[in-house]
Amino acid sequence: MKALIITAEGIEQQYVTQQLMAALGDQVCGIVVEQHKKKRSVLASLKHGMKRYNPLVFCERIITKSLRSLMRIDHKQLSILKSYLGSINKEDYIPTDLPVCTPYSANSAESIAFIKELAPDYIFVYGTGIIKQQVISLAKSSILNLHTGISPYYRGCSCAFWPLYNREPHMVGATVHQCSLEVDGGDIYGRASVKITAQDDHHTAFAKSVKVGAGLYAAVAKKLLQGEAVKTIRQDMSIGKEYQFKHRTILHDIKLLAYIFRGGLQKTLRGIEHKPLPFNDFNISEE
């Protein structure tokens, strides 16, 4: 059987790809790597934002983006990902003779033609834009996605952030599911929780989710490529919530930081310390 990976350029995407390559080896017939989108000019960004949001939300997005930049939130996330996942050199895990496509979107005509030519049995997706039906239909057997959150309870964006904010640290983790038109909504192949400690924040929670998710993804992919059956679970989309990018404002960031600083996370963890992690389908650990 042949597998194809669809991913992007970030550190977390490279780490997951590295783990898949280690598990599948020469069964990987190609990789699609979405490139960073070209930055819009300030005027173009303003026009795009005004079309996408109402005036109140648009102003909030500008304030949130500016303050997040001043607080160096994204910089801290990148630094922690590097410390948790280690240095990654693409040349060390992607063979020079492996076909690679580098479009700006996995849904582009270039990407679709590339995938059609390779005709993979399985497609494994992580960290890209939303995959559309014309790509979903290209996998002979199935197309899977890794979500760094516990579906269906936490779907969409920032799903390592919201469980901490909602005082549910036991719900930080990852899900491998069938890729569908519903966001993080396909049948589940496996889920894995991560152990959160009082020293963690949403940055380390995300890094742990990537690490445990990569191990889970590799285990599921290896079984499927070996022709083994993996039992799936249909998601109940009436439970949980889909979190969108616009839902997380700078006020949410500040409230979570204050909660952790005041020892709130430590108190929450004491209340659940004797309970086992709720999800660990393949006995995967982030260590």
Q: What does the pLDDT look like over 29-53, one tens digit per residue? A: 999 999 976 555 555 555 555 566 6
d(CA 268, CA 179): 34
Is 86 exposed, middle or buried, given 0-12, 13-18 or 19+ CB atoms closer than 10 A?
Answer: exposed
Q: Which two tokens stand for residue 223?
A: 């079984």
φ/ψ of residue 173, rounded to 5: 170, -150
Strand 188-193 versus strand 173-178 pairing type: antiparallel
pLDDT at 40: 55
The average pLDDT across 15-33 equals 96
Confidence (pLDDT) at 45: 57
Mean pLDDT (whole number) for 256-282: 89
Which among 126, 208, 219, 199 has a CA at the least distance from the CA of 172? 208
pLDDT exceeds 80 at position 118 = yes
Token pair of 169 as six digits: 């640290």
Check if the beta carbon of residue 279 is closer than 8 Å to that of residue 192.
yes
Q: Given a cut of 60, is residue 56 above it in pLDDT? A: yes
Please say whether the beta carbons of 148 and 209 come within 8 A: yes
The rounded distance, in Å, linking the Cα atoms of 32 and 4 is 8
